[in-house]
Chain A
Amino acid sequence: MILASRQGKIRLVKWYTPYTPKEKTKISKELPPMILSRKPKMCNIVEYSDHKVVYRRYASLYFVCGITPEADNELLTLEIIHRYVETMDTYFGNVCELDIIFNFGKAYAILDEMLMCDGSITESSKKDILSHVHSMDNLESRDQIERIMS
C-alpha cells in the first residue's frame, strides 16, 4: 500500500509481500505517476505488470493498494481504503496530508489494527480500532511521564 501526494511524493508506504529493494524502488517510482495520470472519472482499478492496483483519491492524497488478481475483490479493496480514511479522519479530526507526514507512526498504527499479515482485514469496527490505538497512546504517555517523574 502506498500513499502519495498530488506531487507524486510518497507519504506512507507498507509492503505486504516481500519485495527486493530494487523492486520496491521500481514500484515506488513507476506507480505514483501512473496513478496521477489517470483522469478523475476513470475507473480506480488499474493493471500493473501482473498485478492489479486499486486506488482512491482523497483531497490531495492518493491511496494506492496492490492486490492479487482473481482472489481479491477489487470493490472490497476500495471499501477498505475508504474505511481507513474514515478511521484516520476520526482519529485526527479531518485528516490532512500534513497530519500523515508528521504522524506517520499513528497512521501506521491504525493501519496495523485494520490490516494484518499479507493485508487481510482484521477488524471492521472503526470504534474498536480507535479505542485500541487510544489505549496504546495512553500507555505511551503514562510511561513517558512516569519516566520523567522518577
Chain B
Amino acid sequence: MAGSSLRSFIKDVRSSKTLAEERSIITRESAKIRTKLRDDHLPAEKKRKNIQKLLYLYILGEKTHFGQVESINLVASDDFADKRLGYLAAMLLLDESQELLTLLTNVLNNDLNNHSNKYVVSLALTALGFLSSSELARDVYPDVEHLLSHSRDPYLLKKALQCMGKLIAKDVSLLDTFSPKLITGILNNHSLCTHGVLLGVVKVLQSILQSFTSYQEFLVEDEDDGGSYMKETKVSESNQEFFTRILEPLISIIPHLFSILQNLNAKNFEPDFDVQGICDPFLQVEMLYTLSLFFQLGDKLESSEILQYLNKFSDVLTQLATNTDANKSTGQTILYETTRTIFSLNLDQPLRVLGVNILARFLSGRDNNIKYVALNTLIKVVPQEPKAVQRHKKFISKCLRDPDVFIRKRALELTFAILDEANIGEIVEELLRFLEYTNEDDKSLILFTVEHLVSVFDVYSITDEKWQLQVFVQIMKLVGRHIASDKISDILIIINNAKNSTAKRDVLVDMMKYSLDDKFSLEIPDENVCWKLVSIWCIGEYVDMLLESQDTSLINERSLSDYLCRCSTRHNEDQRLLNYTLTAALKLSAKIDDAKCLEDLRQLVVRRTRDPDLMLQTKSVQYELIFRQPKAVKRAILETMPKFDKPHKQEENPLSKPIRPRLDPPKESDLLFGLLQDDNGTKSANEKKQAPSVPQTDLLTDLFKGSTSSNRNSNRSSADARGIGLLSQSASETVQLPTQSVRIHVSDSLQVFAYLLSCGNGTSELEMYFKALQAIDEIQSFCAVPKTQKLTIGQLYPRNSLQMDDICKQHLKITGSGKLKLRVKVSFNVNGNAVNQQFDYKFDGSL
C-alpha cells in the first residue's frame, strides 16, 4: 500500500522533470550572474541586485571572484546605495593580498576627503581598515592623518584612529612621519573623547608599542647580516630618536590613562555602556592591555620614564582586582585581564598571589569558560608562583572530573605542572583516581597521563620502590588497554630496574593474582594487552621469584605454564604478544621440572614453527633448538636481564641523541632483543616519537653497551608527610651541564645555557640551565615565545636557590610554527637584593 504512493510520487517527479526540461534548463545561479555582470547595458538597479545575489553566493561558499571589478565600479558610483553595497562587496570579495587594491586607491582618496557626507568617509575608512596593504597604507596615510588633525566628529575620529593603528602595523616606517600630537591632542579635548574614540586611541597606542618591537627586531636582523659597527650605532640612534620623538610624549599620558580606567571601573551605571552592571568592559580590557604593553616595553628598554609609573599601576590593578564584581561574567572578563596583566609583567609577589587567588576562585565556579581560562592561565603561572597555585589543588582536582574534556585536559596539564617532590605522593594517588573515572573517549588524556607519569618517576627519584611498582600495576589494571608499546617498555624497564627485590616480589605476586586467579582475572578484560604482555614478560623473567611465593596453590609451575598457553591460543593474531609468549615459554622451561608443563611449553613453541608470520616462524625454530638443550645450558643462555639504563636527563648522558643509528646486533641479540620487544612497529614508533621529557632510549644499544651505572645520589631519606615516604632529599641532587649546551646569557651572577633536545614537526623540547656565579636565591624565570607558538614550562629543578657554581634547570616544550625564539626574564635575589635580567635568544632551527 505504502509503496504505491511513493510510486505515484515518482511518476509525478518524472513527468514534471520532462516539463521542466522542455521549458528551460535551470542553470547555476553564479553562472547566470556572471553573464549578467558582463552586460554593460543593464540598469544600475539590476546590477545592484546581481551583486547582492553574488554576495549571498559568497556566503554560501561559492566562487565569486569574478565580481571583484564590478564591486570596485560600484564603489566609484555617486549613488550612496551603490557605494555602500560596493564597499561591502569589496570588503568581502577582495582581500589585502590582491593587486586589485590599487584600483581602489583613487576612490579611497576621494571618499576620504568627501566633505559633504560623513558616511562616505566612514565607509571608506571601514574598508581601508579592513583591506590595507602596505602600499595602500603609504598612499592613503596623509588622508587619514589629515582627518585626525582636522575632523572634530567623534564618529569619524574613532574610525580614523582604528585605521591609523592598522596602517602603522602594516608599515612600520610610517612612524617616521607620525606625530604623537595627533593622539595627545585628541585626549586633551574632553568633548571628543567618547568611548569609541578612546577605543581608537588605545588601538593606535597598541599598534605603536607593538611595532616598536618588530621594528627593532627588523633592525637587529639586518645587523645580523652585515654586522658592522656603523649599523649598530645607527640602530641605537634610531632607537633613541624613536624614544624621544614618539614614545616620550605618549608616556606622559600614562597617568591620564590610569585615571580613565579607574573612573570607568568605579562608575556605577551608564545605560549606553552598561553590561550587567559593569561599565564598558570592552574599553576597560583594551585599556588594561594597552597599559600592559607600555610596561612590557618599559621593562625591555629598562626605561625609568615608563617604569616610574609601575607602582601606581600596581595600585590600579589592586583596585580593579578588589573592586570588580566577580559574580558577573563581564566582571570576570576584567578580572581575567587583570591577572593576565599581573603575570605578563611579573609584578610583585602579593599581586601575583592575588592573581592566583582570583583564578582559583574562577575554578570553584560553575561556568566552564571561566574555568577553562583560569586553568589555562594557571598553567603558565606555575613557574612564577608554584606555592600559591599548589594551595588550590583541591579545585584543580575537582576539574579533573569535569564533564567537559577540554577542562579535564587542562586540569591534567596543570596537575602535572604543580607536581613537585613534596606532593608527588598525593598527586599520583589523585591521578590514579582520575584514571579510574576515565572512559573510552578519554584515550588521549589517558596516554598523556601515563606518558607523564613515566617521566615523573624518571625525574624524581623514589625511595619507596614498592609504591612505585604498585602505581604502575594499578595503571596497567585501570587503563592498560590504551597503553602504547613504547610506554609498555618503559614500564618493563621500571620493573626490571627495581632494586628492592622483596618489594618487587610482593608486587609481582600480587599482580599474578589478577592474571592467574579465575575470580580476579575477571577484572582484566581481554583487550588489556598491556597487562598480558607485562605478565608474560614477568613470568619469563621472574620465575624463580614467583615460585618463591607462599601461595603455591595460586602460583606454581602448572598455573604459570597454563597462563602462557592460554595467552598463546587466545591471542592468536597478536604477533607482539606471541613473541613475548615464546620467549617467556623458553625462559620458563629452563626453570621448571614438571614434565607435563615442559611438554606443553614445547608444544607452544613448536606450534609457531609453522606460523605464516616469518618473524615468528624463524624465532620459534631457533627457540625450539634451544628448548632441547639441557637445563644447565639453557640457564646459561637465558640469564636474567641486566639492569638497563634509561639515560636520565639530569645525569651525565646527554650525548645520547634522541635518534640513534641502528646497531647491527650480533647473532644472539635476536634472543635478548626478543626478551624485551622486537616488534617492528614498536621500533619505528620509538624512532618517530617526539621524546617527551626524556630522550628516547634505544633499548638495544643500552643492553649491549654494558650498563654504565648511574651516578645518581643514593643518599635518600624518606620524608613524606603522609607516610608514603618516597622521596629523595632534594638538597643532595645535582644537575650537570650537558656538554652540548649553548650559553645564551651571562651576567655577573648568573650564566644561562640552553640545550636543545629536539626540534621539528611543530614541536621542540629544550632545557635551560641556570648556573650561579655567586650565591643566589628565589630564582624565577619567565619565558615568552612568538605568537605562533605555545610554551609549556616546567619547574626549576632541583631547587630555586643556588650556591656558587650550582646549576638548576628547567624543561621547556614549545609547539606551533615559525622560528624558534625565546625571550627570557630571570629574577632572583643576590644578598637580599632583587635582580631582574632579560634577554632574547634565537635558535638556528624552526618548528
Contact = CB atoms under 8 A, between A and B. Distances in A.
Direct contact of A and B (CB under 8 A): yes
Interface of A: 9-16, 18-19, 25, 28, 39, 41-47, 50, 68-71, 73-76, 78-80, 83, 104-105, 108-109, 112, 116-118, 120-128, 132, 135-136, 139-140, 143-144, 147
Interface in B78-95: 79-81, 84-85, 88, 91-92, 95
B790 interface: yes
A144 B77 CA distance: 14
Given A41-B404, A116-B126, A50 B369 contact: no
B366 to A, nearest CB: 10
Contacts of B373: 45, 74-75
Contacts of B336: 73, 75
Interface residues of B, number: 72
Interface in B160-180: 162-163, 165-166
Contacts of A25: 61
Contacts of A143: 79-81
B243 interface: no
B370 A50 contact: no
B129 A117 contact: yes
B333 A104 contact: no
Nearest to A86: B275
B826 interface: no
Interface string B176-208: 000000000000000000111001100100000
Contact of A76 (B60, B158, B200, B281): B281
Contacts of A15: 95
- Best-surrounded residue of A13, A28, A76 (most CB of chain B within 10 A): A76
A16 B695 CA distance: 41
A148 to B, nearest CB: 10
Interface string B366-382: 00111111000000000
Interface stretch (B51-59, B216-224, B645-653, B658-666): B51-59
Contacts of A135: 119
B803 to A, nearest CB: 36
10 contacts: A9-B60, A11-B59, A42-B405, A43-B368, A45-B406, A50-B789, A69-B787, A76-B285, A121-B282, A136-B80
B59 A79 contact: no
Interface in B123-146: 125-126, 129-130
A69 B340 CA distance: 12
A139 B194 CA distance: 24
B363 to A, nearest CB: 13
A120 B126 CA distance: 12
A79 B283 contact: no
Interface of A is mostly: mixed
A121 B333 CA distance: 15
Contact of B88 (A46, A69, A108, A125): A108
Contacts of A69: 787, 790
B159 interface: yes
A79 B333 contact: yes
A43 to B, nearest CB: 4
B96 A18 contact: yes
B806 interface: no
B159 A122 contact: yes
Contacts, number: 173
Contacts of B96: 18
Nearest to B344: A70
Interface string B45-71: 000000010011011110000000000
Interface of B is mostly: helix
Interface in B259-282: 272-273, 275, 280-282
Interface string B786-818: 011110000000000000000000000000110
Nearest to B280: A124
A119 to B, nearest CB: 10
Contacts of A42: 368, 403-406
Contacts of B58: 13
A144 B60 CA distance: 28
Query: Which 9 pairs of residues, A with B, have the shortest CB-CB distance?
Result: A43-B368, A75-B333, A117-B129, A117-B166, A140-B81, A124-B282, A123-B196, A43-B372, A42-B404
Contact of A120 (B97, B162, B281, B406): B162
B821 to A, nearest CB: 14
A140 B199 contact: no
Given A11-B59, A116-B129, A43 B199 contact: no
B119 A122 contact: no
Contacts of A132: 119, 122, 155
A107 to B, nearest CB: 10
Contact of B282 (A68, A79, A116): A79
Contacts of B758: none
A41 B403 contact: yes
Nearest to B790: A69
Contact of B84 (A46, A128, A140): A140
Contacts of A139: 80, 117, 119
B111 interface: no
Contacts of B55: 104-105
Interface in B325-344: 329-330, 332-333, 336-337, 340
A105 B49 CA distance: 12
A14 B92 contact: yes
B512 interface: no
A118 B81 CA distance: 25
B286 interface: yes
B750 interface: no
Contacts of A123: 158, 195-196, 199
B195 A116 contact: no
Contacts of B280: 124
A144 B81 contact: yes
Contacts of A128: 155, 194, 196, 272
Contacts of B117: 139
Nearest to B162: A116
A89 B407 CA distance: 32
A125 B61 contact: no
